[in-house]
Amino acid sequence: MNMDELRAKWDARYAGADANASALDVLTDYAHLLPHAGHALDLACGLGGNALFLAGCGLKVDAWDISPVGIARLREAAVGLDLVAEVRDVTAEPLPVSHYDVICVGNFLDRSLCPAIAHALCPGGLLYYQTWTRERVDDSGPGDGPFRLGSNELLSLFDGLVVRAYREEGAIGDRSRGFRNRAQLVAERPG
Ligand SMILES: C[S@@+](CC[C@H](N)C(=O)[O-])C[C@H]1O[C@@H](n2cnc3c(N)ncnc32)[C@H](O)[C@@H]1O
């Protein structure tokens, strides 16, 4: 799928969505680790549930996505908040270096971008990342393919950062319980 087709796919999905997205579990579960102030980025934000959550926590937020429909809806939802939402292809425009106190990435995976994401954090900055894994207990999320993480892959993609929280439960034990189908990481750029 080329970029125009990808944009059209997400535009159509967001035009039909009847509610704004909520924040990822990794953000709500580990919100107590967030700084009280600072500059955050929601990368590939979609409808911006994570961006809205971060702004509600007192952070100044940038939110980027290729979908003009998603960005327009986020702008409407963000009136009065310190949140700047922009249409931006994150693979085409380089990320600023040592710039963000918090970066959040949800349900988006471009492995080639991971070193730049780590470098876009300020020293002491925090990465919140959550996305789908190949090991899973049901069919939720994208089909098998490059958008799913291998076992512990998220740790290796950000091995220069200090892990503060990590969860990936695979398919073992009682499959009806727990945090399944996804991995979540909170990691800090060393100061
Ligand atoms: C599954 S959605 C995730 C949205 C949001 N992060 C969330 O967790 O709900 C994937 C998003 O990635 C965006 N996207 C895909 N490729 C992109 C790119 N190169 N630059 C910016 N956004 C991109 C899509 O438009 C879509 O909104």
Using the atom order of ligand 1, give the atom closest to the CA of residue 21.
9
The CATH architecture that domain 3-188 belongs to is 3-Layer(aba) Sandwich (3.40)
SS3 43: strand
The tens digit of pLDDT for each residue in 65-110 reads 999 999 999 999 999 999 999 999 999 999 999 999 999 999 999 9
Interval between CA 97 and ligand 1 midpoint (Å): 21
Residue whose Cα lies nearest atom 7 of ligand 1: it is 106
Sheet of 39-43, strands arranged across: 83-87, 60-65, 39-43, 100-106, 121-132, 182-188, 162-167
End-to-end, the C-alpha distance of the chain in Å comes to 39
Extract the tokens encoding 68. Answer: 């003009």
* pTM of the predicted structure, to 2 decimals: 0.97
> Strands 182-188 and 121-132: what pairing?
antiparallel
Is the distance from the beta carbon of residue 6 to the nearest atom of ligand 1 less than 6 Å? yes
> Which of 13, 25, 65 is the pocket-test mutation for ligand 1 (most atoms within 8 Å of CB)?
65
How far is residue 119 CA from its own chain's centroid?
A: 16
The tens digit of pLDDT for each residue in 99-136 reads 999 999 999 999 999 999 999 999 999 999 999 999 99
